[in-house]
Every structure is written in C-alpha cells, then in structure tokens.
Structure 1
Amino acid sequence: MPADIVELRERRLGKLKPAQLARELMKLPAKRRLKLIVERPDAQSVVAALDANDFFHTVQEIGADDSLPLLALASFEQMNHLFDIEWWRKDTVEPAKALTWIERLWRAGGSKLLEWLMKADFELLVSLFKRWIVADIAPEDIDMVEAVETLPPKTIDGLYFWESRYPQYDDLITHLLTTIFETNYGFFKELMDSVRNASAPELEESAYHFHRARLEDHAIPDFYDALEIYRSIGADEFALKTVPRKADQDQPIPSFALALLSQGDLFARVVSRIEDPGLLEILQVEMASLANKVMVADQLPADNAEALRRAAEKALAYVNLGLESRSGANIEKAAQILRDNFLEHLFRLAQAEVAKIRGRLQSIAQSGWLSQCPAGIKCLDAEWFDAAEELLARTPRILKSRPGGSESGVLPAYDFFRTPQDLARGSHIVDVITCAGDLYELVSDHTGMPGQRLWTEGQVRTPEDITLGVMVLTAAANSLISGKWSAAPLSHVAWPKVFPLLQPPVIDRAVMDWVHRSLPDRERKSLAQVYLTPILRDYDFEMRPFSGQNPPKTQLVKFFMFSG
C-alpha cells in the first residue's frame, strides 16, 4: 500500500474514539498497532476497549519483551488472560514461566503489578509461592539467635522466613513479598501461612478450576469440547440452528480472526456488504470462538503468534468453503446463510468434505497399492509425493496459484482448502494417485526383484529410493534397448552406449504407447497420463541438453535404476 494512503488511513484512525479504534486495530500490522496506541493521549482507554483475545494476539505478534508499553496499559482482565495462556500447560501452572512474565510486568512499571497481586485468585498465588519459595515461621519457645541458624535466610518482619527456589529471580520474589507486606500485612500473613500449611493438590485443583472458567469466558474451550468442530454435520442441523443471536453490547468484541479475512473470498465479500453492526459483531465473536477451537483441537501452541494466525486462517478458509458450498457462490444467498447459520456449522460442513478426500488417500496409503511399495508413500514421484503428503497432514492443504501468478514471479504455494474448486482439485489428485496403482501393478509384473543388485553409486541405491516413475522409465528404457518391457535395472557400464537410444521424445513415446496398450479404459488412461506428464517433462528438461556423444554422468541420473 502506498505510503501516502497509509498515512491518510492512520490519520483517520487517529481521530476515532477508543472503542471505534479498538475495532479497527487488528487490521493493522502489530508494530503499527502499538505505535498508534501509545502515541494517543487516551492510550489507556484504547487498550481497555480491546477484547482480551485481541490484547493477547497483539502481545504475541509484537513479542513479549517489546510489549512492555502495552503491559503497562493493560487491564487486570487482559493481564489475567495473557497469564492464563502463557503460564499453564494443561492442568499445571509453570512457576518459572510465571516469574518471567511477572518480571516483565514489574519492568513495565506503574501500578499494574500491585493491581495483579491484589486481585489474582488467592489459590493461584499460594500455588505459585509454594513453588517459588521455602517458607517457615519463627518458633515461639526458642531464642531467635539460635533459631536463625535453622530458618531460611530472608525475612521482613522477623516472624516469617523464606528462601527462594529460583535464585535468578531472588530480587523479584523479595519485591513481590515486600509489596504485599507493605500494602496489606493481614494478606501477607494469610499468604505465608497458606504457603506453609495448605494442601498443594487442593490448591492447584481450585486454581485450575478458576483458570478454566476464565478461558471459557473468553471462548477458549477445553480439548474435548473443541473437538466438536470435527464432528460431521447433517443438513437438518443447519435448519435447527436458525435462531436469533445477540452480541453482548457491554463487552469488547474480539476482532483478531475476522481481521484476517482473505479479500478474494466469498466470505470477505459478503462481510464487506453487511450494514448491520449487530450482525457484524456476532460474526466477529463467532469467528474468534471458532479460531480458538481450532487452536485447541489441533493442539497448536497458544503462545506462538504464527500458530495463532494459522488457526484463524484455517477457520476462515473452512467457513468460506462451507459458505460457497452451501450457497453455490451466490452472494445474496450467502448473506442469508450468514444471518441464519452458525459459522461453526459451515466449518464442520467443509471439514467433512476435506476429510473425505484425506480418508480416500489414507486408505490407499494404508491398505492400497502404496502399502505394497517398499518406499510406501515415497513410491510417488516428487510432485505427487508433495501433494499427497500435504493431503495426509492433520490439516490437509493443496497447491494453489497466488495473486500475481507466474507473470510477477510469484510461485504457487500450499494453502488451506477454501473453495469447492479446491475440493475438486484435491479429489482429482487422489483419483490420479489411485490410477497410478494400475501402473504400479502393470510394471510390477515385469520387475522381478528390483533393488537386490542396485548400483550403490547411483541416485537409486535401495528399494526405498524406487519411485513409480523410475520403474516406468526403466521399463521403457529396457524396451528401447532390448525390445522387452522390463523394470530390471540398467547396466551402469553400458550407460554411455545406450543413452543415445533414450532421448526424451523417444522415451515419451515409448511410455505413452505402453499406457495406451495397457489401459483400455479412457478415463484411467487419461489419469495415468496426468501422473506421468510431470515426470516426462522433468526428464525432458534434464536430459535434452545432453547429446548422444555427451551423456550425463551415470551417478547423477535419477530417472533409472542401475545395476552394480
């Protein structure tokens, strides 16, 4: 975006009221977001208007140590949400990580650390201090001069003594206890008594209960609830869920997920036409909730900005896929669907379709022809192996052209399924790989025992290196050399003599003639040609520069098996 347009946009944003600005901030790059906040005289009000999810995402994108100005402006709820995600691993709080974040809050300055200490769940504080210090109390019936020798070294009041379990954070822990002592001595006494006497398992269970409740208040479910997004959905469930919904007007609206909309998608086009602010807020809340469910269900690290972005982008892609599938890409019908149906149901509809494609390929890999290959899925040649590996991933992706295309040097990239065309492409890839099994069966009948005498200096050294393309091209080479279609390894010694017979056009014709002879079914013949075309193209690209009198070095040829 041109600099003058960016400047004009930011000038407009600078004039917005805090609540209005908060809804626009997540569309900006994180560093620019922070700059826009801290330069305003009402920065505290702007941060207060941010939803806790948006605050957390902003901290992650900026980076923990660069976010101190934001921490200094945070509300207690925002701090708690950040700590709930950063400190906890499943049902356990991580004491060292908690100290790291509390130290950042201390460095941020202001009264935020004191505010958090006074408002945090007591059970959590006690659980943390039980992990941070060893505490004891001065005995009543022993002289203090004698008692000091057996007590921990630090004390403030001569009654409670402690020693830090984390020497590198000794100053911080002392500061925390001193702050509590000077602010509320009664609270200090209760804390130290609990650190000494309270049951750790009971405290941690209570702290975890409050922790989970807070996360659920911010639309972050537990793992098993999150898995609901991967349950298939029937058409009748859509009809049952067309109920009115209301956003809570008193709470900030999370906008981090909807801010990542891909502008070319149907979902983005429909959202851009929505004039009802209430509906837009509802979609923001639903989208944030869905992105959080993806993060939890896919077990992505919540403290990783890139993982958080992937979760939101996957959720958006699947919602768009569900919306296009259900509306037929009709924008008016799509708008009605967004008003009447939950985004999660659109996600589940899309997920079911993607899962069918993945399931078909899994069946081929686990019990189909790929399971018979020594190399397994690596029996597929490069282009098809890459496509299959992406389709078999936990979140399948597909290779797609990007805006600008080859004209601007932008290469295709793997992306989430987001349109019915992507589904068709994914299904076609599986069809091609299925048909490749016919080729494997045909060429295997003429293979014998490949790999037992492979030349160890070649590119194909073991049975695990043998791809279907290598088998087919080796058989084609043998047919041109001896007149017999056989996938037996070629002699590496004879390579300079036979190479003139294996020029790209000749190999291409031999392979395609074999396909025509062997596969009478027109559709399967076509799919076989689709599989083999990139292999033959690659062969042409690498072999064409060489002449019959100047063959490539045998050690560098990846298209054939060679015998030792």
Structure 2
Amino acid sequence: MPRIDLPQEKKKGHLTLLRETRTLRAGEYNALTVEERLRIVRNAVGRQKYDLIIEAVDSTELVQRLPSQEIYLLLKELGAEDCTELLAMTNTEQMMIFFDLDFWRDEEFLPDSALQWLAMLLETGEDNVLRTAHELDFDLLTVLLQKFITITRGLESLTDEDALAEGRLERLYDMDFRDSESAKIVGMFLDILYRHDRDFYIGLMESVRNEIPAEIEEVAQENRRGRLLDRGFPDPFEAMSVFSPIDAGIFERRSESKIPFQAGENGVEAPGFFLVEPAGDLLGEILSRGIEPETCWEMAYLLNKVMMAERADVGDLEQIAEKAREVYGYLNIALEYLGRGDFEKAMQRFTHAYLEHLLRLGLGLVMPLRERARVVKQSGAMTFLDGPFRALVESLCYKRPRFYEGMVEVNRAGERFFKRLDDIRLAEQWLSRIEIQVQLFDGRLGFDLPDPQGEVLKGCVPDQVGDLALSDLFLTAWGNRLLGRDFSPVPIAKRLLPELHKVVCADGTLREEVRREIRQATESLLPGAGEFSDYCLDLWQEQFCTLAPDALDVRFIGAMIIRLD
C-alpha cells in the first residue's frame, strides 16, 4: 500500500474546511468520499497514482472519472503492458482516445502500434474485448484488420451447413495473415468475436473484405480527427496558429467576451497533468490560488494544441514538460505585461482572456528580439562576434527565441525559454551592446574586418582567420598603438610581448590609465561602445596581466593575434 496523505482541505458545499495533514491507512483511504479519493489520485504521479487507483474500493469508477489523457499518460509512463488491470477499468470512450493517439503518426496508420494495443486488450478478458469491439469505431476496426489479414474465401463458397453449425472458423473465411506474430494476436481476437457474436464477426469480416482500403482509412482518419479535435488535438497544420504572435498594442485595444470553455469529456474531473512543475512567478502565484475546472481544461487543450503544432509525442512526459514550460513562460510574460505590477489586475486578465491569446501576446513581446538578432546575423561582424555574444544571437534567431543563460552567469552556456519580462529586458540590453559592436567595426576603427575565408595566419596564434573574435582584433590594434605602431590588427611579434606587458600591466593588474584611455577613445568613436572596450580589457586582465612578465607563454595568452618569431 503506498503512502497516502489526507488532503489539507475538504470541500463542504461552497465552503473549504481546513484540517491537519496526516498519513492514512487503507481503510481510512477508502472511507473518504469519492471526490476526496479523486483529489488524492490526481495529485499523485507514476506508480503511486497507479497503486492508489488499484487500492481503491471503487477503482473502476475512479478511472472512468479521470480524463482520458491522464490515464493514457499513466499507461505510457508505466508501460501499458504492465497495466492490464488499469486498462480493463477504462471505458470504450477512453480506450478510443488511446487508439486515436497511438495508432497513427500524422496521416499514417501504424500497424505495429495497433497490434501492441490489441494484444494488451486481449489480456483484459474476453468480456471486455467483446464490449470494446462492439463500441469501438467500426471503420477503425476494419482498417486495423485489413493491415493484418487478406481474406481469400468467404461465405459464398460455403456448402457444408453442418460445418457452419459446428462453428468451425476456417469454414467461414479463409485468410492469410501478415506474419506469424500477428496471426496469434489477430486470430485470438477474431476467435472471440466469432464465438460470442457471430453476426458481428461476419459483418466485420465482410467490411474487411469489401471496403477499399484507401477509402475506409480516410473515413477512419476523418472520424479520428473529429474525436481528437473535441479533446484539444487539432490538425497539426491548423494548430500552427497557436504560435501567431499578437502585437501588444493590438491586444490591449481588443475587447472580447470570453465564451465559457466546453470540455470534450463529460462526467470526468478536470485534468491536472499540465501542472508539471511549480512556477515561482506571477503565473505560479495565480495557479497556486486554485483555478476553475473550465480553466484546467482550457490549459490542457492549449498545451495539446502546442504539442500538435510542434508534432511532439503527446505520450512523452518529458516532451509535455518541456512544452508546458514554454507555454507557462509566454503566459507569465503576458500577465506581467498586462498586470504592470498589480496582481489583482493580472488575475483578472488571466480569468477573462483566452489563454491562447495570452500565449500569443507573450510570444509577441518576445519576437522583436528575433528580428533584431537576424539583422546582426546578416552583418559581416557576425562571424567574429565573441563566443557569448554569438551564442546569444544564435539563440534569439530560433523560430521562437531562446534565452541565453550566459547573460546571467558568465560560465553558463545553456538556453531556455523566456519566462519573464526581465528576461526580455536583459536580452534587449545585450542586443544593444552587440549592435553597437557591429557599428563599431563597420569602418569606425579605421580598418576592415578580415575575409572569413581568407588565407591562414601563417606562423601566428590563432592561425585561422575564422577563429578570430572582435576582441582579438580590437586588443591587437590597441596593442600596436601602445607599442607606438599604427592602430591596426596586425599580428604582434612574440618578442614584443614583454614590452607590451610592461606598458599595459602593473603588479598583475591592468593599469587604470590604460583602461581609461582606451575606454574614452572608444566611447568617443561611438556612444555606448565603452562597454565593449570594458569587455575586451577584462580579457587582457584575465589572460595577459595575470601572467608574470618572464612567463608570457603564448599558449595562455588570449584576445590578441601573436606572431611566432
């Protein structure tokens, strides 16, 4: 028996009664109301959820009051082959959704997946198999069987009435099976139908024999589309509209009356699978205060639409969690923008606006970053941007921009979804710095950028033009200037490094007067460019000044082009 914690709240009409949390024994668990057991089950995950269902005295009722998608995800998480008891408790409407989600990949029917589910259905018992067969989409059954059997002889060739009366299967239809494995599973399924309901069996076999495969498959696919649409799974192409950004100005000028959300399943609890992790932000605070069942369904269907648009695996919990984080991020950004620091105002917008529109608003606030990043990427300076800046531009140029984590921590290089308005503001600041770098190296420094496909830098470190960064060019040019030479990124001879070190550094630290001179000169060329000079001079501090004058090993000196004498 799994650990069972009594809920802290008990619903009594419109009141919420608080009580002390404690662990329940099996008898106490089953003494709770159905609604309380449902709440406990919905809050559990994985094997614990399964164990709680099996332990309940009314386990079948619990299963059939859970959304189809939650049961489907539980089966996928645990491995449906280990959940025969759970599968036997589902109703045909739930089973139909399992099949709709797993029998197809876009427009393609997946025979092997269908065969696996058929094998699992057979494990639930003959009565359940017969009931399910009667209640399933008849066209889908036809398509399934056409993938595994070819009927070579039918009723028209029967002449032995005694054989028919005796119920010998082979005397009704002769058929060839796709292979020996499917022959066992499909043969057992047909045998059950034949023994328990011969009229249904004959009708199905005649359909398998006479329906044109391409036509009946299209009918089954159309039926599937309708069922999935009712449960928030639109056609992938139509689902793409979920990522159509809404301009903030347009959104705020719109006045719409939200129609109450209608779920595609009746008599079941609202789903909670989309709450994959607590969010420590404005949206998280709103969700923590509780949301209405209609909003739960709307959130679940919004996530389903995103999954379909991305052609993600709706049975993969990791993919669901990833897409949920993205959805939460856009929703939170929109609510922060609309609330402007006022929680109640944000809560009101969450309640009265369509969640999909909020998502599209959040995306609309992020997308301008991509347009700016694309301009940078098309510039000649893009090839030579220093690592963090180049990584940021690349992350913003995705179909939907990603937040580069190196903006927060220098040593981090990962990406994540945008989650807050502050993420956008930080990215805007970094982009502005990068745009200034592009302008700075567009002739203002008095030299041109090298050809990325140019000749190798013979006898130099680095020895490939493509390995150079803007900081290398900038500091090499300033190194030459401080040595009394022309301001140009001409490689500095190794033998001159001690002299340059003496001019630039003192006691392991970059000289303040050198920093001030370079920053002022750079800022005078282009307002705002002083930040780039600071970035470059910090590299000198870390990779040049910290070295002893008599130990200037070129292997450890970065941010300059050095010629090996």
Shift in Å, 1:139: 9.0
Give, in whole Å, the separation in 2 of the partners of 1:512 and 1:5: 64
Call closer, same or farther: CA 1:524–1:496 in 2, change over 3 Å: closer
Contact 1:381 1:468 in 2 (8 A): yes
Letter in 2 for 1:466: L
Equivalent of 1:271 in 282, 287, 294: 287
Tell me the distance in 2 between the aligned counterparts of 1:522 and 1:496: 29
Amino acid at match of 2:175: W
The answer as to 2:397 corresponding to 1:395 is no
Provide Cα deviations, 1:475-496, integer angstroms capped at 9, x if missing partner.
Answer: 33443456333223445x6587
Secondary structure, counterpart of 1:519 in structure 2: helix
RCO comparison, higher one (Cα < 8 Å, 6+): 1
Deviation of the 1:353 alpha carbon: 0.7
State the distance in 1 between where 2:316 and 2:213 align.
30
Indicate whether 1:218 and 2:231 are aligned: yes
Q: Where in structure 2 are the equivalents of 1:319-358 lying within 5 Å?
A: 319-358=331-370
Asked if the contact 1:417/1:423 (under 8 Å) is kept, the reply is yes
Distance between the aligned counterparts of 1:498 and 1:133, measured in 2? 86
Q: 1:476 to 1:77 in 2, by over 3 A?
A: farther
Is the 2:510–2:541 contact (alpha carbons within 8 Å) kept by the matching residues of 1?
A: no
Conserved 8 A contact 2:126-2:192: no
Unaligned runs of 5+ in 1: 145-154
Q: Alpha carbons of 1:244 and 1:254: their partners in 2 closer, same or farther (altered >3 Å)?
A: closer
SS in 2 for 1:313: helix
Assess if the C-alpha contact under 8 Å between 1:49 and 1:252 holds in 2: yes
> Deviations for 1:302-339, whole angstroms, at most 9, x for unmatched residues?
23221111222222221121111111131221222233
Measure how far apart 1:261 and its partner are: 5.7
Paired position in structure 1 for 2:524 = 520
Counting only pairs closer than 5 Å after superposition, residues 79-228 of structure 1 correspond to structure 2 as 79-107=95-123, 111-137=127-153, 156-228=169-241
1:259 corresponds to: 275
Measure, in 1, the Cα distance between the counterparts of 2:22 and 2:460: 60
Deviation, 1:354, is: 0.8
Contact 1:266 1:324 in 2 (8 A): yes
Secondary structure of 2:358's counterpart equals helix
Q: What is the alpha-carbon distance in structure 1 between the residues aligned to residue 65 and residue 102 of structure 2?
A: 22
Is residue 454 from structure 1 mapped to residue 470 from structure 2 by the alignment?
no
Query: Is the 1:222–1:296 Cα contact (8 Å) retained in structure 2?
Result: yes
Shift of 1:447: 4.7
Q: Deviations over 1:97-129 (max 9, x none)?
A: 211232233346675444433322111111121
Residue of structure 1 in register with 2:476 after alignment:
474
Task: State the alpha-carbon separation in 2 of the partners of residues 507 and 106 from structure 1.
Answer: 80
What's the secondary structure of 1:72's corresponding residue? helix
The CA deviation at 1:288 is: 0.8
Contact 2:263–2:294 at 8 Å: present in 1 too? yes
Q: Indicate which of 342, 350, 360 corresponds to 2:372.
A: 360
Match among 44, 47, 50 for residue 28 of structure 1: 44
Whole-angstrom CA distance in 1 between matches of 2:91 and 2:150? 31
Residues in 2 aligned to 1:192 and 1:4: alpha-carbon distance in whole angstroms: 49
Structure 1 distance, partners of 2:155, 2:259, is 66
Q: Write the letter of the residue equivalent to 2:289.
A: R
Which secondary structure state, in structure 2, belongs to the residue aligned with residue 524 of structure 1? coil
Residue 426 in structure 1 maps to residue 438 in structure 2: no
How far 1:356 sits from its partner (Å)?
1.5
How far did 1:417 drift? 2.1
Matched-pair contact (CA < 8 Å) for 1:447–1:487? no
Amino acid at match of 2:387: A
Cα RMSD after superposing both structures: 3.9
Give the alignment of 1:282-293 within 5 angstroms. 282-293=294-305
Equivalents in 1 of 2:495, 2:180: separation in Å? 72
Q: Once the 2 structures are TM-superposed, how far is the Cα of residue 287 of structure 1 from its aligned partner? A: 0.7
> Which residue in 1 is equivalent to 2:548?
547
Give, as a single letter, the amino acid of the residue that structure 1 aligns with 2:318: E
Which letter does structure 1 place at the counterpart of 2:221? Y
1:241 aligns with 2:242: no
Who is 2:310 aligned against? 298
**Structure label with greater radius of gyration:** 2
Deviations 1:408-462 (A, max 9, x none): xx97964322222122112222212212212332458255557644358987453
TM-score by length of 2: 0.81
- C-alpha change, 1:379 and 1:417, in structure 2 (3 Å) is same
Residues 369, 401 of structure 2: 8 Å contact kept:
no
Percent of residue pairs identical = 22
Distance 1:401 1:563, change over 3 A: closer
For 2:450 and 2:413, the matched residues in 1 are separated by 39
Where 1:520 maps in the other structure, the secondary structure is helix
Structure 1 counterpart SS, 2:151: strand
What displacement does 1:32 show?
2.4
Structure-2 residue corresponding to 1:147: none
Contact 1:453-1:563 at 8 Å conserved across structures: no
Q: Return the alpha-carbon distance in structure 2 between the equivalents of residues 66 and 112 of structure 1.
A: 17
What is the aligned residue count? Answer: 531
Provide the rounded CA distance (Å) in 2 between the counterparts of 1:57 and 1:449.
Answer: 54
2:460 and 2:4 map into 1 onto residues whose CA distance is 58
Q: Secondary structure at the match of 2:524?
A: coil
Cα distance between partner residues in 1 of 2:6 and 2:445: 60
The question of whether the paired residues in 2 share the 8 Å contact of 1:323 and 1:334 is answered with yes
From 464, 467, 473, the equivalent of 1:465 is 467
Contact 1:317 1:418 in 2 (8 A): yes
Structure 1 range deviating more: 78-87 or 280-289? 78-87
Q: Distance in 2 between matches of 1:353 and 1:170?
A: 56
Q: Judging changes above 3 Å, is the alpha-carbon distance between structure 1 residues 242 and 205 closer, same or farther for their aligned structure 2 residues?
A: closer
What secondary structure does 2:400 align onto? Answer: coil
